[in-house]
Amino acid sequence: MKKKIENPFSPEKWKTLGKNQKKNVWFGVFLEIEQKLLNKEPIPNLTTRYDLLEKETNEILINIYKTKNLQGRELYNALRNIFQEDIIAQKDFHFLSPHNTNQSTHSSDLILILDNLRSAFNVGSIIRTADCIGVKEIYFCGYTARTDHPKVALTGMGAEKFISWKYFKETTNAIITAKQEEFDIIALETGEKAVSLFDFRFKDKTAIVLGNEAIGISMSTLSLCDYIVQIPMFGQKMSLNVGTACAVACFEHYRQMR
C-alpha cells in the first residue's frame, strides 16, 4: 500500500496532488468499497469525492468520474476494471477479512513434518493451510525456514502466530518423536510403492512428511515412514507444488475423519 495522504478529499489538499497520487487515493476508495461489501455494510456517500474529479483531464481520473452514478456491486465492478493492474500488484492480505476470534475451529491429531523445504514461501503457504484445517503441530526440520522468516510471514499472513511447532535438526528425529507418540507416519511422495491418496485410509493420529521441492523425501527418511501415499495426477508435469499437495492431503484427512 502507498503511504496514506491525510485528508486528500479536502479541495485545498486535492489541488496539491499529482495525477498518480490522485489515482492512488481513488484506489484506496476502491479498497474501502470492497471491504464494505465484504462486511455487508453500506457504501458511504461519495458525492463530494466525485465532485473533485469533475474538471480532471487525466484519462484514468475521467474514467473514475464516469462511475459517479453507479451503486453497490455495479460501482465496485466498474472501479475494479479501472484498477486491474493495481489490484494485481497488491498482496493477498489486503483483501482478507479480519481474523474471526468467535469462529469455531476444527482440531485434529494431524502433524506436518517439513523435510528440508527450500522455499520459505511454500512454508508460509503450508502454515496457512495448517491453521485453516486445525493441524495439531508442525515439525520444521533441517534448513526449513521457520515462523520468524519474513518470507514465511508474507505467505503465512498471520497464521504463523496461531500454529504450534517444534524444530528438529534432523528429520529422522522428528519422525522418531512422532512414532513415540503413536502417530502413523505418511510420506507424501511418488513412487512404485505409493498408494493413491483416495484409496488410503487415514488414522486420526497421522503425521504427513512433506519433502524438498527439488529432490523430494530422502531414502533414509522414507525408510522410517509407515506408508507412502501419492496424489493421483493426469497431466504432463505430474507434479504439484508442495504447498498445494499439502492442502490436498490435509483436507482428505479431514474429510475421512469427519
**Grid cell of 239 as nine digits:** 507434479
Contact 111, 202 (CB under 8 A): no
Q: Where in the chain is the domain with CATH 3.40.1280.10?
A: 110-257
Residues 6+ apart with CB under 8 A from 135: 108, 110, 111, 112, 129, 163, 250
Rounded average pLDDT per 10-residue block, the chain, 258 residues: 73 93 93 85 92 94 95 92 83 54 64 95 95 94 94 88 94 96 95 91 96 90 95 84 96 93
Alpha helices, DSSP H, located in the chain:
11-15, 19-38, 47-51, 59-65, 72-82, 84-89, 120-133, 150-156, 171-180, 219-222, 242-257
Predicted pLDDT of residue 7: 85
Q: Taking the chain, what is the end-to-end CA distance rounded to the nearest angstrom?
A: 41
Predicted pLDDT of residue 111: 97
Predicted pLDDT of residue 16: 94
- Sign, CA dihedral 122-3-86-159, equals positive
d(CA 50, CA 46): 6
Predicted pLDDT of residue 1: 47
CATH (residue range 110-257): 3.40.1280.10
d(CA 165, CA 142): 14
> CA-CA distances (angstroms) from residue 248 to 111, 213, 219?
15, 16, 23
The helix/strand/coil state of 139 is: strand
d(CA 250, CA 108): 10
d(CA 132, CA 130): 5
